[in-house]
Amino acid sequence: MFKFTQALIKQTLPACRSLSTYKTSTGLVGLAVDANGRETLLDLSAKIMEAVKPIPASSQYRINVEKWFTFIPKGMSRELYYISYILYLIIRFLYPIS
């Protein structure tokens, strides 16, 4: 199943990207769109996890921060990203925005 999904992604992603539009504005003055948003978020998550290590492990703040910033990388796996992107494009094709 995984090999099939990976092959499907490699074949369809370039075509899907040519059909899609890329975000050009955040809608916030002075805040530019990050072209590598996924990688930036993963890097920041790793830095935050390192930064909270000096805080005692029993601290509720550290516990909550670790919950959030261990969840983010799990939700941003590459395969999940591609599958959700393909599904998004299929739905957009079936139900075009007029």
61 and 55 Cβ atoms separated by less than 8 Å: yes
Higher pLDDT among residues 48 and 6, named by residue: 48
> Average of pLDDT values for 39-51?
90
The answer to the question of residue 87 being in a domain is yes
Pick the residue with more confidence: 91 or 7? Answer: 91
Predicted pLDDT of residue 52: 93
Is 7 part of any domain? Answer: yes
- How far is Cα 64 from Cα 1, in angstroms, rounded to an integer? 35
Min mean pLDDT across 7-11, 41-45, 53-57, 70-74 is at 7-11
Q: Is 27 within the bounds of a domain?
A: no
Count up the domains in the chain and report the number.
1
pLDDT for 34: 78
Q: Give whole-number Cα distances, 92 to 9, 79, 87, in Å.
A: 17, 20, 8
Q: For residue 72, what are the domain limits?
A: 2-20+34-94
Q: Is 26 among the domain residues?
A: no
pTM of structure:
0.52
Residue 64 maps to a domain: yes
Of 19, 6, 30, the residue nearest 91 (C-alpha) = 19
Q: Residue 28 domain-assigned?
A: no
Residue 29 lies in a domain: no
